[in-house]
Amino acid sequence: MVGSALLRRLEAEGFSNLPTRDRSELDLTDEHAVRGFFRQERPDAVIFAAAKVGGIKANSDFPVEFLLDNLRIQNNVIEAAHEIGVRKLLFLGSSCIYPKFAPQPIPETALLTGPLEPTNEAYAVAKIAGIKLCQAFSREYGANFISAMPTNLYGPNDNFDLETSHVLAALLRKAHEAKKSGARQLVVWGTGKPRREFLHVDDAARACLFLLETYDSPEIINVGCGEDIAIRELAELICEVIGFNGELSWDTTKPDGTPRKLLDVTRLKNLGWQPTIPLREGIARTYEWFVKNVAG
């Protein structure tokens, strides 16, 4: 999702020398293959958007894969990038790196100040290791490796699989299917009380390119829109946009996860960046993409 949004944005800005490989061409967990790719292409800059990602269920069901795959992928890419001397690397982390009960909105300084949310601890620990590796390369070798922490992202090419997706994509699919089948109920996980912040991936891609051009500090920087919404309100908004008029029912056997995850985006704002796609419009655009590309 993030990689394809970055490509759309880079191409729109006129960049053409964009060496990429998809999953079938390059296995990022394979150290030898990753080194070979970097030696062959010798990129100037690297945006590290690749990761094994998943929603609350996948994350808590498969901690081994989330930890091992992500550590392998990022270690391979960051080390190989350093070896060939890339001028700049942007490592993408996640808002789940912050403690479960971090102050809200969460400032960058909250990193490693308390215990993590257990449902995504494995992913968070891998991402924290990635941040620390970038900072270590910066301190020890003077590398310009920066790290951005995006909030919950959504948009074209999101994962719409109900078992492994994040909440926005899952509810979009559920509302679509409920509307199509004439169902009267739509099942939402948890209590609906947790609050999350959502950023359209096209805005996230713009923020990445902005940071590549303007930000040269090893200190992490948050990327978000600065506003959050309760899962209940999100479900209602999605039903409204899609036109499903039935009822919401709550599956409280599923976890709520962290109670609130709103990033403090003062640092990014002060650099002069702000998002452009409001949530309702972003949901409508993503739904259009989903109908065209996934629902068939």
The continuous run of DSSP H or E covering 92 comes out as: strand 88-92
Tokens linked to 267 = 């640092």
Of 190 and 224, CB closest to ligand GDP: 190
Q: Which of 170, 178, 211, 262 binds ligand GDP (CB under 6 A)?
A: 170
Binding of ligand GDP at residue 56 (CB under 6 A)?
Answer: yes
Residue found under tokens 């958007």: 49
Binding of ligand GDP at residue 130 (CB under 6 A)?
Answer: no
Burial annotation 95-115 (CB, 10 A radius, 16+ → b, else e): bbbbbbebebbbbbebbeeee
> Any alpha helices (H) in the chain, and if so which ranges?
2-12, 31-41, 56-61, 63-84, 121-141, 167-181, 201-214, 231-242, 266-271, 279-290
3-state helix, strand, coil in the chain (%, to 5): 50, 15, 35
Q: Are strands 195-196 and 229-230 parallel, antiparallel or unpaired?
A: antiparallel
Pick the catalytic residue from 123, 154, 215, 287.
123
| Whether 98 is catalytic | no
Write down the least CB distance from residue 238 to ligand GDP, Å.
10
Q: Which of 77, 146, 148, 167 binds ligand GDP (CB under 6 A)?
A: 167
Binding of ligand GDP at residue 188 (CB under 6 A)?
Answer: yes
The continuous run of DSSP H or E covering 222 comes out as: strand 221-223
AA letter at 95: S
Write down the least CB distance from residue 171 to ligand GDP, Å.
6
From 11-19, 31-39, 190-198, 278-286, span contacting ligand GDP (CB under 6 A): 190-198
Q: Which of 257, 262, 267, 287 binds ligand GDP (CB under 6 A)?
A: 257
Q: Which of 66, 189, 273, 290 binds ligand GDP (CB under 6 A)?
A: 189
Integer-rounded Cα radius of gyration of the chain:
19
Q: Which of 265, 13, 18, 293 is nearest to 155 (CA)?
A: 293
From 79-87, 100-108, 137-145, 251-259, span contacting ligand GDP (CB under 6 A): 251-259
Binding of ligand GDP at residue 286 (CB under 6 A)?
Answer: no
Binding of ligand GDP at residue 66 (CB under 6 A)?
Answer: no
Site for ligand GDP in 9-48 (CB under 6 A): none
Residues that bind ligand GDP (CB under 6 A): 55-56, 96, 120, 152, 165-167, 170-171, 188-190, 194, 196, 231, 254-257
Active site residues per annotation: 123
